[in-house]
Each structure stands twice: as structure tokens, then as C-alpha cells.
Chains A and B, each alone.
Chain A
């Protein structure tokens, strides 16, 4: 790697730890971020000349803290960076600080930083935007591109989120065990949200939004390194890896969605699948299953099938059953119905989803599944009605195009049937 690329990677990897520690000192998100920016500028100047420091995060925290303290002391916001001499004996100070950082604070600083971003008073869109800005360090331009909104709108969203966080009572004490596990749940959910923002993109926007999924994976890995013995965090990381591994196979050249069973499995990312499988295998040994682990286990069964017909639907049906217990939702039942139809036939699946209609009356996927099940039973007129309903509810042209394909198949089969009947 070149110097610039190396420094770039070092700044990215040190960011959560450094901003987290600066936040602990200053208890203010803006000050912490500004201090980190200052330190980065200094690093870009100093590292190519003096070589990289032993511990980049410790260096950045030290320099950022000093710059911000100077700033506050002089009561001015615009402040030239301190002279090189002022930080010349940083090496000694850095190692002392690094030793202290290696200790317990590190984990709590990052967890606190992530937790602040997923503050329960913030709506999901603000949580995601704030985390991408503060923890990941993506620029407002990058974030607004991924969310398909204007830069001004995204700037406003982030500013609002920060203002709310500043007003809210954020605990800066080291969290206790119970509190920490509560925070962990909230943080995991926020990472999952970020991932889904990228994953649920339609064909046209998939490329644009891919960075969101990748960033979520990076954050999940970070969280897992902080809590390497938490099976649900293993499950979350496995789930994201297994889902993202299929990204190259999910859309055709026109941007239409390709169903799992029709995907070209040679396009799946093997190393990502290997890592996901290793993690879910490890998590299951703990025998403390949770929603992420169960979903990852389902994704793992798909990933292990070399051909669609090798898929272990019986096991998947059972896993969805388990998911219905720990996380009951009509959408989970709908997903289970797909597995059930493979194991016990379309009628059983249809019976299973019948009670869901009122709750999923506006859900595209419900009518898509129902249409497909009715089609399998040869109830073509009813299937057509369901598909029409699905198209009306589709959120993207990729979704609509996918249902239209089913409709075309129905018309074609219908025509053949009529021709045969007339013979």
C-alpha cells in the first residue's frame, strides 16, 4: 500500500476508538469529532515524515485532546494546529496512554459511542445517519448518496440527531453488566438496520447502497471483536456475511430481483460464506440461541446447498418455527410458509398464511407468496388476483417486474392448458 492508503486505513480503523475516548473526555459529540478531525490533519502532515506511530489510536487521542483543550482555553473556534515542537516528545506519552487504553476503557468507549448513535429517542433513519457519520466517518456526501437524498437534507438529519443527543441524558459512566447487555442489543439492532438499508435496495440502486451493507459488516466485526464470546453477536455477524455473500447474484442485468433458487451460485462470495458458516457453527455450540443466530442458521442452510434442490427445507421449516417463538411476527410466519410449502405442500402453506391477511393487507410480499402458492395448486384466477394486488403494492420496479414475470408464466401456462382442453 502507498503511504496515503496506509494512513487512510489507519485513520479508519482508529476512528471508533479515538472518537469514543475523546467523547469520554469532552462529553460532547461535536467537540469530540472536531478534535478527531484536527488530529487527522496533524497525522496527514506528521506520519509521512516521522513514520507511523506505535499505536495510531493513542496518538490521535492524545493529539486530538490537546488541540481541543487549547481550543477551549483560548475561547476561539478557529485555531491553528499546535507547532510540531509542542508534540515532539509524544512518543513517551503515547506509550503510557496506549498501555492504559489497552485496558477496560476501550470496549466501553466504543460501546458508548455506538449506543449514543442508537439512542432510543432518535428515529431509525437518524440513528443510521448519525452512526455512519460519527462512528464510520463517512462524509455527508457519501451518506446522502447512499440514502438517495440531497446533501442538505442529510446534513439537517445529522444536525437534528446531534441536537437531540446533546439534550438527552447520556450516561457517561462505565456501564454495568445488565446495562451493557441492554446496550449491546440496541447497538446490534442499529447495525442490522444499517445493513438492511443497503440490502433492501432495488436493482437500480443496489450498487449505490452497497457501501451501507459493507459498513454494517465492518461494525458487526468490530462489535464481535469487543464481545468475542457473545453468541448473538456471532450470529449477527454471520447473518450479515451470509446475506451479503449473495449480492453479486441477486440482480440480473436489467436490475430485476433474482430469487434464491434461480441465482447463479458460482457468483456467491465463498470466503464470506466460509466466515459466516464458521461463526454460526461457533455460536450454536453455546446453546443460547436468539433471533440473529436462528436467521443466520437459515441463511447457512441455503449457503451450504450446492444446488437449490439440495436445500434442507425440513430444517429451515423448523428454524422458522423457532424464530416464530422468539420473535413472533406475521412476516416470520410468511417466510416460514415458503419453507412449509416445500416440505408439506402448497395447501398447508396457504392455510398457514390465511390468518395473516388483515395484518399484511399492504404487504407486497404477502400477495406474491400467496399468488405463487395458488399457482402451484392450479387456482390460476385467484393467483392472478393476488399477483395484481402485489404489483399494486410493489415499492420498486424490480419488485413489480418480478411479479410480472410470474404473471407471464401464469398466462403462458393458462394458454397451454386452454389449448390442451380444446384439443
Chain B
């Protein structure tokens, strides 16, 4: 089963990392990702630009385009993984490993309902 690991963290905090700190975290995460990729379990990985760059389409009639999401809550969605796991325990284990590489914040583990891989992007 595919699980989405949604990465939440305080944006103020993550944006305060120096370039070196940022690179160190990314390097540690890459180790875990590499392992999952070798096992053929890693789907797309995305790091999102800050929420200040986001725009939201409210599905009213007619649809309304607004700035945001406004980051009023403590933690923001900053990125996500798609990982193939046999069960929730495995998914939690993956999240735990990623969390050790990048402490703080939280991962929301969400089973994927529909998945279309799409075409090649890059």
C-alpha cells in the first residue's frame, strides 16, 4: 500500500536554518531516501516552497483564488514523500527514520487512496 508522509514543521524555524544547517539536514535525509529507493519503495519526494508562495483556489461558485494558506497555525505543510509499505507499522518506521535525520515538527502518515504516477517530469 502506498502511504503519503506529509512533512509538517514550524516554517519560521526551518527558514532560520543557515545554508550549512539546511544542507546537513538534506544530506541526512538523502541517506534514508537512498535506502528506500534501493528497496524500490520510494515514490516521488517533494519539498515545497514556503507557504508565503502559495495560492489557494476556493471551490466556491464561482471559484475564488486567494493568497495563502496563511500560516496562522504553528506548523505548516512543507513537503511530502510517497512510500510503499505493507502496513502502517512499516510506514511509521520509515517516518521514524526520516525523523531521526530531521528532528522537530511532525509527519502525518496518510494512506493513499488513488494514485496515478503521471509521466516523466524531468
Which chain A residues have a beta carbon within 8 Å of chain B's beta carbons? 1, 5-6, 9-10, 12-13, 52, 55, 102, 214, 218, 221-222, 224-225, 228-229, 234, 237, 271, 274-275, 278-279, 282, 285
Q: Binary interface profile of B, 66-107, with partner A (CB < 8 Å = 1, else 0)?
A: 011011101000000000000000000000000000111000
- B13, B16, B67: the one within 8 Å of A218 (CB): B16
The distance in angstroms between the C-alpha atoms of A10 and B103, with both chains bound, is 12
Residue of A nearest to B66 (CB): A229
Q: Which residues of chain B are within 8 angstroms of A275 by Cβ–Cβ distance? A: 49-50, 53
- A1, A221, A271: the one within 8 Å of B25 (CB): A1
Q: A188 → chain B, closest Cβ, in Å?
A: 15
Within 8 A of A (CB), among B17-43: 17-19, 21, 24-25
The 7 closest A-B pairs by CB, nearest first: A13-B16, A278-B53, A12-B16, A224-B52, A13-B12, A13-B13, A275-B49
Known contacts A1-B21, A6-B104, A10-B13: does B50 contact A221 (CB below 8 Å)?
A: yes
Do A221 and B103 touch across chains, with their CB atoms under 8 A apart? Answer: no
The distance in angstroms between the C-alpha atoms of A12 and B14, with both chains bound, is 11
Do B53 and A9 touch across chains, with their CB atoms under 8 A apart? Answer: no
Do B67 and A282 touch across chains, with their CB atoms under 8 A apart? Answer: yes
Do B53 and A225 touch across chains, with their CB atoms under 8 A apart? Answer: no
Residue of B nearest to A217 (CB): B15
Do B67 and A228 touch across chains, with their CB atoms under 8 A apart? Answer: yes
Which chain B residues have a beta carbon within 8 Å of chain A's beta carbons? 10-13, 15-19, 21, 24-25, 49-53, 55, 65, 67-68, 70-72, 74, 102-104
- A9, A52, A55, A274: the one within 8 Å of B16 (CB): A9
Q: B49 → chain A, closest Cβ, in Å?
A: 5
Residue of A nearest to B53 (CB): A278
Q: Which residues of chain B are within 8 angstroms of A228 by Cβ–Cβ distance? A: 51-52, 67-68, 70-71
The distance in angstroms between the C-alpha atoms of A263 and B99, with both chains bound, is 40
- B19, B52, B103: the one within 8 Å of A225 (CB): B52
Chain A interface main SS type:
helix
Q: B34 → chain A, closest Cβ, in Å?
A: 19
Do A221 and B52 touch across chains, with their CB atoms under 8 A apart? Answer: yes
The distance in angstroms between the C-alpha atoms of A222 and B71, with both chains bound, is 11
Q: Which residues of chain B are within 8 angstroms of A222 by Cβ–Cβ distance? A: 12, 15
Q: Which residues of chain A are within 8 angstroms of B104 by Cβ–Cβ distance? A: 6, 52
The distance in angstroms between the C-alpha atoms of A234 and B54, with both chains bound, is 11
Q: Which residues of chain B are within 8 angstroms of A52 by Cβ–Cβ distance? A: 104
Do B67 and A1 touch across chains, with their CB atoms under 8 A apart? Answer: no
Do B49 and A5 touch across chains, with their CB atoms under 8 A apart? Answer: no
Q: B14 → chain A, closest Cβ, in Å?
A: 8
Q: Which residues of chain B are within 8 angstroms of A6 by Cβ–Cβ distance? A: 103-104
Q: Which residues of chain B are within 8 angstroms of A274 by Cβ–Cβ distance? A: 49
Residue of A nearest to B70 (CB): A228
Do B15 and A218 touch across chains, with their CB atoms under 8 A apart? Answer: yes
The distance in angstroms between the C-alpha atoms of A222 and B104, with both chains bound, is 20
The distance in angstroms between the C-alpha atoms of A211 and B17, with both chains bound, is 13
The distance in angstroms between the C-alpha atoms of A13 and B51, with both chains bound, is 17
The distance in angstroms between the C-alpha atoms of A332 and B19, with both chains bound, is 33
The distance in angstroms between the C-alpha atoms of A222 and B52, with both chains bound, is 10
Q: Which residues of chain A are within 8 angstroms of B74 by Cβ–Cβ distance? A: 55, 102
Do A13 and B68 touch across chains, with their CB atoms under 8 A apart? Answer: no
Knowing that A6-B103, A221-B50 are A-B contacts, what are 15 other residue pairs whose CB atoms are under 8 Å apart, sorted by A's residue number? A1-B25, A6-B104, A9-B13, A9-B16, A13-B12, A13-B16, A55-B74, A218-B16, A225-B50, A228-B67, A229-B68, A229-B70, A274-B49, A275-B49, A282-B55
The distance in angstroms between the C-alpha atoms of A117 and B39, with both chains bound, is 54
Q: Which residues of chain A are within 8 angstroms of B50 by Cβ–Cβ distance? A: 221, 225, 275
Of B16, B55, B102, most buried by chain A (CB within 10 Å of CB) is: B16
Do B52 and A279 touch across chains, with their CB atoms under 8 A apart? Answer: yes
Q: Which residues of chain A are within 8 angstroms of B11 by Cβ–Cβ distance? A: 225
The distance in angstroms between the C-alpha atoms of A274 and B46, with both chains bound, is 14
The distance in angstroms between the C-alpha atoms of A20 and B12, with both chains bound, is 15
Q: B26 → chain A, closest Cβ, in Å?
A: 11
Q: Which residues of chain A are within 8 angstroms of B102 by Cβ–Cβ distance? A: 1
The distance in angstroms between the C-alpha atoms of A287 and B52, with both chains bound, is 18
The distance in angstroms between the C-alpha atoms of A322 and B86, with both chains bound, is 59
Residue of A nearest to B52 (CB): A224
Q: Which residues of chain A are within 8 angstroms of B68 by Cβ–Cβ distance? A: 228-229
Do A225 and B55 touch across chains, with their CB atoms under 8 A apart? Answer: no
Q: Which residues of chain B are within 8 angstroms of A9 by Cβ–Cβ distance? A: 13, 16-18, 21
The distance in angstroms between the C-alpha atoms of A5 and B74, with both chains bound, is 21
Known contacts A5-B21, A278-B53: does B13 contact A229 (CB below 8 Å)?
A: no
